[in-house]
Amino acid sequence: MRKSNSLIGVINFLTFLLSIPILGGGIWLSTRANNTDCMKFLQWPLIIIGVAIMVVSLAGFAGACYRNSSLLWFYLFSMFFVIAALIGFIVFAYVVTDKGAGRRMMNRAYLDYYLPDYSGWLEERVSEGGNWYKIASCIRDSRVCGKMGRTYGGVPESADMFYSRRLSPIESGCCKPPTECGYLYINETLWNVGGGVGGTSLDCSIWNNDQAQLCYMCGSCKAGVLASLRKSWRKVSVINIVALIILVIVYVIGCAAFRNNRRYDNDEGYGEARMTKAQPSRLHF
């Protein structure tokens, strides 16, 4: 009995530890939302799941320590739905970030991003007018474009040096015009519009050298946000999948340990016949 309770206690302690990287992933997404991605609602499901695992595992740990069957039942019952919710979140994250990737440009180390390359629920959420104004305002306030400037010996970097940089999706999509527009480089966020050869993209006419406007209303900026979200979600999903596999294994072991616990409570031994006859039958065949 003591060994069984000890095993359940250890298992619940492990699930408590597993809640930390899941909760940490949600907090990391929240940090990204505040500083870079600016999508401030996507991290909450993961944070809620991480907190739920933490609370449920503590309840199971207390139930094992104090031999409280009610708490152990609560742990097993609740953890099943928490695991199901985590599976649902992982599947949802992969589905909504399935499409989209940056395009390679000739003589450029960075990628360009185009909104038609993305589709689905996440693209609709980002492109929706009310949501996008908030996202664009968040990107502007984060000053991500203003932080792009580099100088070497007091001299701004040249065009060739800028073209060899690996820009983030938001830096590429929101802070400069699309490469196809053909604008001439002056600095990271200032381009000679008159020198451009023009392009078919609507973003070519939306771009503005006003530092408060730049390409914040461009489709390329929306695509850059989607690319940044996709990259962030994929990183977190890898951690979640590993945690999920371990969590399922631990949960199965916990169910077996609890079942053994119940056998001890009911005075059932291993290999014992659960039904005996009061008197042997007189008829033998």
Percent above pLDDT 70 for the chain = 81
| Polymer length of the chain | 285
| Average pLDDT, rounded, for the chain | 80
Q: Is there a contact between 219 and 204 (Cβ–Cβ < 8 Å)?
A: no
Give me the pLDDT at residue 53, please. 86
Specify the 3-state DSSP secondary structure of 212.
coil
Residue 267 has pLDDT above 60, yes or no: no
Residue 277 has pLDDT above 50, yes or no: no
Confidence of residue 255 (pLDDT cuts 50, 70, 90): confident
| 171 token code pair | 């830096």
Point out which residues pair with 81 in neighbouring strands: none
Q: What is the mean pLDDT of residues 40-49?
A: 76
Closest CA to 138 of 246, 277, 266, 40: 40
Q: What are phi and psi of 177, to 5 degrees?
A: -75, 160
The strand pair at 111-112 and 151-152 is best described as: unpaired
Specify the 3-state DSSP secondary structure of 279.
coil
| Run of H or E residues at 15 | helix 2-35
* Residue intervals in the chain for CATH 1.20.120: 1-99+232-264
Give me the pLDDT at residue 40, please. 66
Give me the pLDDT at residue 274, please. 45
Give me the pLDDT at residue 11, please. 76
Cα separation, 230 vs 37, in Å, equals: 10
DSSP-assigned letters across all residues of 60-96: HHHHHHTT-HHHHHHHHHHHHHHHHHHHHHHHHHHHH
Residue-wise pLDDT for 58-85, tens only, equals: 877 777 777 667 777 887 888 888 889 8
Residue-wise pLDDT for 160-170, tens only, equals: 999 999 999 99
| 163 token code pair | 């073209």
Q: What is the mean pLDDT of residues 212-217?
A: 93
Residue-wise pLDDT for 172-198, tens only, equals: 999 999 999 889 999 999 998 765 556
Q: What is the mean pLDDT of residues 247-251?
A: 83
Residue-wise pLDDT for 83-137, tens only, equals: 898 899 889 888 888 877 889 999 999 999 999 888 788 888 888 878 898 889 8
Give me the pLDDT at residue 3, please. 54
CA 94 to chain centre: 9
Q: What are phi and psi of 156, to 5 degrees?
A: -60, 150
| 215 token code pair | 């390409």
CATH of domain 1-99+232-264: 1.20.120
| Run of H or E residues at 191 | strand 190-192
Residue 234 has pLDDT above 70, yes or no: yes
